[in-house]
């Protein structure tokens, strides 16, 4: 989704802003723009449809000693073209703004401004906002800060924004509601961005703006204020410990590939400090643990890949702790009649911590008095702040649009949570808990999986022209099938569906012919024999069979057109192993089909609109 970066300090703005925009490219965008206000009060704006490199080559004078704002736009209102790209200016061309989010009541505001003879250039809701600020500033004789506040108090919807005004050559104003914004501080330099990726290179001192807060930077000083009232608020500065390596591809061509390979380390990081030989430590839940343990019902809510992790979480929590769990898409949960009260625990899972639907679901759960638990990867994000308690997945910044390492981190956390709950409720024994928590060997098995990558690449080459795939698994591996299918769809644009393996008979089998491959996920567990029957049903209809298994049985060799054998493991580790195989398969399919793996078309990393 849209990205913002802004800089105020003594250095040339352009390189800082352009490099910042490149850091934000992972979020997905279709146009980019930059506005710089020089100390001689000259405002230069450049915008381009397409990539940041096109914007960069369009800038003629790459020198600015003042301050600047820049943006990558992911179109919502108005087509992705140069006119609709940000920054936008008001009619007087004094005020310039970049904006993430959606102004929901932009139509009545636009009507009002049109009645006041304001002329619009673009189709965007953002221009309506900057024109409204301009209207208050020019007509209402308000100072800059007051005009911003007056406009923001009249808009509904979400915003993260940064604004400059030619009449205030030493002032930068930023504000947020619903759309994240962070401020980076370094001596007398200020960095503002929609996430920390453009800032981390410059400083680790971060201030996360909260909803309805604004920051007014004036000269070398700054104040955090409320959007609603002119009152100063505390400056909660944090030192963050993200590694700059997270933003470099290293020896890999794509972030997604790097992130798939990182999973041995990221899973170890997720588990670190949380396991004693006979106890699970989840300090983030301590304050609410009694309520969580006593709860008679758990809801898990999330979107996309995080929702798939939720499905696995449900099966683990129900199996180990006998607590009923319901899993709902956050976009449905927020509107459905859900049975939640103060006895219910609602777990929200989100890699980014900023997904609009998930945040709305959390709000609903909070309103109903439920205990809300966040499982999230980004410290300081909205999910972390809006939930009562939570657990960070700690897998480092995920840059590739297709989520990989965050998924395995989420299921690792859900595994720990299920075990902790079960042990507390007495539904598993100490000996069993101990066995489950012994995971050193698991990491070695995950590492050894990467020896299979050449084979997986070869299988991908073989099926590169297939247009449809079925992914089939049972139990814990049904969500793995869904996730495998989603990965293939989103980065290679090949149609794929995930189903419970036996469900395939109830409709999808009609699709099977010699051109349609089915990917079966086959652990050696209690459903093994049944899945073999399902495979036979497809085989007898001439469907192509790819099997991911931890069994070396002859029958699988006979049935499979392609067989990928992962290390022998229990069913819980198998979920990780099979997932990583499917991630690698999707990755190689996308590369072979020459797709832009890290920035697939139409997709955004962080979906901050409903």
> Which entry of 51, 258, 489, 605 is annotated as an active-site residue?
605
Interaction with ligand F6R in 482-541: which residues (CB under 6 A)?
486, 490
Active site residue 2: yes
Q: Does 323 bind ligand F6R (CB under 6 A)?
A: no
Instruction: List Cβ<8 Å contacts ≥24 apart for 290-294.
Output: 291/345, 291/371, 292/345, 292/371, 292/373, 292/421, 293/421, 293/424, 293/425, 294/343
31 binds ligand F6R (CB under 6 A): no
Q: Does 270 bind ligand F6R (CB under 6 A)?
A: no
Piece of 345-353, 361-369, 454-462, 541-549 that binds ligand F6R (CB under 6 A): 345-353
* Bridge partners, 145 (sequence order): none
Q: Does 598 bind ligand F6R (CB under 6 A)?
A: no
In whole angstroms, the minimum distance from the beta carbon of 352 to ligand F6R comes to: 3
The SS3 of residue 149 is: helix
Q: Cβ-closest residue to ligand F6R?
A: 304
Angle between helix axes 144-152 and 125-139 (nearest 10 degrees) is 130
- Smallest distance, Å, CB 205 to ligand F6R? 25
Interface of this chain with ligand F6R, residues 347 to 366, rule: CB under 6 A:
350-352, 355, 358
Buried/exposed code over 169-196 (b: 16+ C-beta within 10 A; e: otherwise): bebbbbbbbbbbbbbbbeeebbbbbbbb
Which residues, 402 to 431, sit near ligand F6R by CB under 6 A? Answer: 402-403
Residues 293 to 322 in contact with ligand F6R, rule: CB under 6 A: 303-306
How near is the Cβ of 304 to ligand F6R at its closest, in Å?
Answer: 2
Catalytic residue check, 64: no
Q: Identify any residues that bridge with 280 across adjacent strands, giving them in sequence order.
A: 275
| Smallest distance, ligand F6R to C-beta of residue 529, A | 33
Instruction: Work out how close the CB of 90 gets to ligand F6R at its nearest, in angstroms, rounded to a whole number.
Output: 34
Backbone φ, ψ for residue 596 (5° rounding): -85, 95
**Secondary structure tally for the chain: helices H, strands E:** 20, 27
Size of the site for ligand F6R (CB under 6 A): 15
Does residue 266 touch ligand F6R according to CB under 6 A?
no
| 203 neighbors 186 (Cβ within 8 angstroms) | yes
Residues whose CB falls within 8 Å of the CB of residue 292, separated by 6 or more in sequence, listed in order: 285, 345, 371, 373, 421
The answer to whether 282 contacts ligand F6R (rule: CB under 6 A) is no
Minimum CB separation of residue 381 from ligand F6R in Å reads 9
- What is the C-alpha separation between 313 and 465, in angstroms, rounded? 34
Q: Which of 2, 13, 303, 376 is catalytic?
A: 2
Q: In this chain, which of 128, 607, 608, 609 binds ligand F6R, going by CB under 6 A?
A: 607
User: How far is residue 568 from each of residues 272, 417, 418, 550, measured CA to CA in Å?
Assistant: 24, 24, 23, 5
Exposed, middle or buried: residue 77 (CB in 10 Å: 0-12, 13-18, 19+)?
A: middle
Query: Which residues belong to the active site?
Result: 2, 605
Residue ranges that bind ligand F6R, judged by CB under 6 A: 303-306, 350-352, 355, 358, 402-403, 486, 490, 606-607
């Amino acid at each position: 989704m849209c990205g913002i970066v802004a800089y105020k300090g003594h250095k040339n703005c352009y390189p800082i802003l352009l490099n910042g925009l490149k850091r934000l490219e992972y979020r997905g965008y279709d146009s980019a723009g930059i506005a710089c206000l020089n100390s001689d009060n000259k405002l230069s704006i450049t915008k381009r449809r397409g990539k940041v490199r096109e914007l960069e080559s369009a800038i003629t004078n790459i020198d600015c000693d003042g301050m600047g704002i820049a943006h990558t736009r992911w179109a919502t209102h108005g087509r992705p073209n140069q006119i609709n790209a940000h920054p936008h200016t008001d009619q007087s061309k004094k005020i310039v703004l970049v904006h993430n989010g959606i102004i929901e009541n932009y139509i009545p505001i636009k009507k009002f401004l049109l009645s006041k003879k304001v002329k619009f250039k673009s189709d965007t809701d953002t221009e309506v906002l900057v024109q409204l600020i301009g209207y208050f500033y020019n007509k209402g004789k308000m100072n800059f800060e007051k005009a911003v506040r007056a406009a923001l108090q009249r808009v509904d919807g979400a915003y993260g924004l940064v604004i400059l005004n030619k009449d205030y050559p030493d002032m930068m104003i930023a504000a947020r509601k619903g759309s994240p914004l962070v401020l980076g501080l370094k001596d007398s330099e200020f960095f503002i961005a929609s996430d920390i990726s453009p800032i981390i290179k410059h400083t680790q001192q971060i201030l996360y703006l909260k909803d309805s807060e604004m920051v007014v930077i004036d000269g070398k000083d700054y104040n955090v204020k409320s959007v609603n009232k002119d009152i100063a608020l505390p400056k909660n500065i944090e030192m963050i410990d993200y590694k700059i390596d997270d933003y470099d591809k290293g020896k890999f061509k794509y972030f997604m590939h790097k992130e798939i390979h990182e999973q041995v380390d990221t899973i170890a990081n997720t588990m670190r400090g949380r396991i004693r030989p006979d106890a699970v430590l989840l300090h983030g839940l301590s304050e609410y643990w009694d309520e969580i343990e006593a709860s008679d019902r758990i809801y898990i809510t999330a979107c996309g890949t995080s929702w798939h992790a939720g499905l696995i979480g449900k099966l683990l929590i129900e199996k180990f702790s006998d607590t009923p769990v319901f899993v709902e898409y956050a976009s449905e949960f927020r509107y459905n009649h859900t049975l939640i009260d103060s006895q219910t625990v609602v777990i929200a899972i989100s890699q980014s911590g900023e997904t609009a639907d998930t945040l709305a679901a959390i709000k609903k759960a909070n309103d109903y008095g439920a205990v809300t638990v966040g499982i999230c990867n980004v410290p300081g994000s909205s999910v972390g702040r809006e939930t009562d308690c939570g657990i960070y997945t700690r897998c480092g910044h995920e840059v590739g649009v297709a989520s990989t390492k965050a998924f395995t981190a989420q299921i690792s956390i859900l595994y720990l949570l299920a075990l902790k709950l079960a042990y507390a409720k007495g539904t598993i024994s100490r000996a069993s808990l101990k066995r489950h928590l012994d995971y050193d060997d698991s990491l070695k098995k995950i590492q050894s999986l990467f020896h299979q990558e050449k084979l997986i690449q070869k299988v991908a080459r073989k099926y590169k022209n297939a247009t449809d795939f079925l992914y089939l698994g049972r139990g814990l591996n049904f969500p793995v099938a869904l996730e495998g299918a989603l990965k293939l769809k989103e980065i290679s644009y090949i149609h794929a569906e995930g189903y419970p393996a036996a469900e395939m008979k109830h409709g999808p089998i009609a699709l099977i012919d010699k051109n349609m491959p089915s990917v079966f996920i086959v652990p050696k567990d209690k459903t093994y024999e049944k899945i073999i029957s399902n495979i036979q049903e497809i085989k007898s209809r001439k469907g192509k069979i790819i099997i991911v298994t931890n069994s070396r049985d002859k029958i699988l060799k006979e049935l499979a057109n392609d067989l990928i054998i992962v290390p022998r493991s229990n069913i819980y580790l198998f979920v990780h192993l099979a997932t990583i195989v499917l991630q690698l398969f999707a990755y190689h399919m996308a590369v072979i089909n020459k797709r832009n793996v890290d920035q697939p078309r139409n997709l955004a990393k962080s979906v901050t609109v409903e």
